[in-house]
Structure 1
Amino acid sequence: MFEVRDYPELSWSLSRHKTMLTCLRKYAYDYYTSHNGWLKNADSLAKQAYRLKKITNLEMHFGSIVHDLIYQIIQQVLNNQEIPSEETIVDEIRHHLNRGFTESTKKEHLWQHRPKHYTMLHEIYYSQTNTLPKGKIEKITNRLHTTVKNFFASQSFADVLNKRDMQFMESEKFRFMKVDGVKIFIVMDLVYKDLLNNKWVIVDWKTGKSSDEDRNQLALYALYLQQKHNIESLDDIIIRNEYLLDATHVEYKLTEYDLINVQRLYSISMEQMQSYLEDSNKNAPKPIEYFPMQEDPRVCARCNYQELCFPSTL
């Protein structure tokens, strides 16, 4: 049962950790100021922060659409339903992109009241125009066909099609494990067991370029899987990134050091998060002044909270 709380529950995720490292003021807005901002009787600042938190950008919106459709396609395969063609998927993605643009330009009043249910693009909101940058449109258009084509040709989708030899777990749902009473949230795109080779496979679809964080992300997923299913040997777990932009996939062989490293990352990160709490028992944050703003204007230019940080310049 949902319970209204003055402060959110303290939790951890790699995205939360990354936000803290990027900008502490954004971290405060994301995880504290916006709390309860969806409630009708919330104060105006909480509502404003929650609304701004829900802004997305064209690349993120595209990635979210692709992930959702990949999940749907895989479910159709597993349920023995007809698989849509590449052309159909391209058209579906284009439809969702166009709808997001329409909602951003013509339905801002609806987004203002229900930001969770409508799309607002950063490029539209802060440019105060009803047009998207030409370069971004070209980039997403190029990614559209490439990404869909490479998904259908990927190793992981081939494994899905060979479903008789695979045992699939539920995917794309929030899971968590607890460390010292703190929930660590994990979202895995695809998890299955290769029955022929007796291996667990964790897949993460990427619609952008590779990152140094990709291995840590998969190591965290593997740690969860190992604990959840009592997997004795790390050799029984394959972690794989599918880079749909350049038609490559990378598999990592985990070591104990990988797991130790991600556990150490969590420990250091959590200690830093707790240092910004006024009351650790309630997860009540210190006043906003204790969360300094980012000094790099390039980072600020991409941020959702320009309206709060620089109200006089907008």
Structure 2
Amino acid sequence: MFEIKTYPDFSWSLSRHKTLMHCARQYAHQYYTSHNGWLKNAEPLSKQAYRLKNLTNLEMFFGSIVHDLIENVIDNYLNTGWIPPEDELRGRIRTSLNEGFVDSTRRMEAWKQKPKKTTMFHEIYYGSSNQLPEGKVEKIKGRMQTTAGHFLNSRTMQELAYNENIEFLESEKFRILYVGRLKVFVVLDLLYKDTERNKWIIADWKTGKKSEEDPYQLALYALYLLENYEVDNLEDIIIRNEYLLEGEAVEHQLDHVTLEKVQELIGSSVERMTEYLESPVDNQPLPLEQFPQTNDERACRVCNFYELCFS
């Protein structure tokens, strides 16, 4: 049964770690100020922070659309054996983008009431007009033209379609990994097994550019796999980034040293997060003013919580 708690449960994720490293004040709003902001009797500040937490931007929205579309295509293919053509995929992406734009420009009140169920672009909310920046629109149009084709021709999709030895396992699910007693959240884009080669393959779809954090995310996937499946050797795990902008697949073979480094990162990150807690037992944060703001003014301009810091 759902229980209303004064403070949220403590957990760790790579995105949470990156937020704290970026700006402690943003971290406070994202994980503490916004807590319970969905409740009707919530404090005004919590409601406001919860709304702002659910802002998205054009690039993030495009990425979520593509991930949802890929999940739908793969699920449908596994049930029917049919893969839609590239033009249809582009059309579905375009329709979802247009729906997001309509939400952002015409449904402000609906977003205020149910921010998780209505789309609001950061560029519209903080912009001076109901128009998206022309440069961003052109960039997304370019991505839309290439992403669908690169997905259909990707190494992962080709394996699913033409390799008879593939055993599908799971996709796009929030999963919990325990490192000691710590709850760690991971999201696997796609997990399947090549039974002929006895290889476990984790595919991660990327709609943006390569990132320095990619290997850390991959190592978390491997830890999850080792904990939840009967994997004989670490060498049997193949972790693949599918970069849909470039149409490039990059495979990684992890070793135990890399996994140990990731576990060390989690440990040091948790220690730093604990420094911002009044009561670690309850996950009660320190007062907001003890979460310092970043000095990066450009980062503040694109932060969802800009209006809380610069009213």
TM-score (norm 1): 0.97
User: What's the counterpart of residue 193 of structure 1?
Assistant: 193
- Give secondary structure in 2 for the equivalent of 1:294: coil
1:224 & 1:66 partners in 2: Cα distance?
Answer: 24
Q: Which runs of 5+ in 2 are unaligned?
A: none
Shift of 1:163: 5.4
User: What's the counterpart of residue 115 of structure 2?
Assistant: 115
Shift of 1:82: 2.7
Q: In 2, are the aligned partners of 1:77 and 1:160 still within 8 Å (CA)?
A: no
User: What's the counterpart of residue 212 of structure 2?
Assistant: 212
Number of residue pairs matched by the alignment: 311
| 1:259-310 CA-partner distances (Å, limit 9, x unpaired) | 0011011000011111110001100000001100111111111100111000
Shift of 1:182: 2.1
1:248 & 1:111 partners in 2: Cα distance?
Answer: 37
1:304 & 1:208 partners in 2: Cα distance?
Answer: 20
2:307 & 2:219 partners in 1: Cα distance?
Answer: 37
| 1:129-153 CA-partner distances (Å, limit 9, x unpaired) | 1101110010000000101110001
Report 1:246-257 matches (<5 A): 246-257=246-257
- Give secondary structure in 1 for the equivalent of 2:231: coil
User: What's the counterpart of residue 176 of structure 1?
Assistant: 176
Cα RMSD of the aligned pairs, angstroms, is 0.9
Shift of 1:81: 4.5
Shift of 1:192: 0.4
Q: Which moved more, 1:171-180 or 1:258-267?
A: 171-180
| 1:121-178 CA-partner distances (Å, limit 9, x unpaired) | 0000001311011100100000001011100010000111135311111210110012
Q: In 2, are the aligned partners of 1:100 and 1:119 still within 8 Å (CA)?
A: yes
1:70 & 1:205 partners in 2: Cα distance?
Answer: 9
| 1:93-120 CA-partner distances (Å, limit 9, x unpaired) | 1001001011000100100000000000
Q: Which moved more, 1:175-184 or 1:95-104?
A: 175-184
User: What's the counterpart of residue 302 of structure 2?
Assistant: 302
Report 1:57-96 matches (<5 A): 57-96=57-96
Q: In 2, are the aligned partners of 1:78 and 1:163 still within 8 Å (CA)?
A: no
1:225 & 1:107 partners in 2: Cα distance?
Answer: 42
Write the letter of the residue equivalent to 2:70: I
Shift of 1:200: 0.2
| 1:211-258 CA-partner distances (Å, limit 9, x unpaired) | 111111111100110111132311100010000000111111111111
- Give secondary structure in 2 for the equivalent of 1:5: coil
1:300 & 1:141 partners in 2: Cα distance?
Answer: 26
Q: In 2, are the aligned partners of 1:200 and 1:236 still within 8 Å (CA)?
A: yes
Q: In 2, are the aligned partners of 1:190 and 1:202 still within 8 Å (CA)?
A: yes
2:105 & 2:269 partners in 1: Cα distance?
Answer: 39
2:195 & 2:187 partners in 1: Cα distance?
Answer: 23
User: What's the counterpart of residue 20 of structure 1?
Assistant: 20
2:30 & 2:6 partners in 1: Cα distance?
Answer: 15
User: What's the counterpart of residue 289 of structure 1?
Assistant: 289
Shift of 1:15: 0.4
Q: Which moved more, 1:268-277 or 1:175-184?
A: 175-184
1:169 & 1:46 partners in 2: Cα distance?
Answer: 39
Task: Give the % identical residues.
Answer: 53
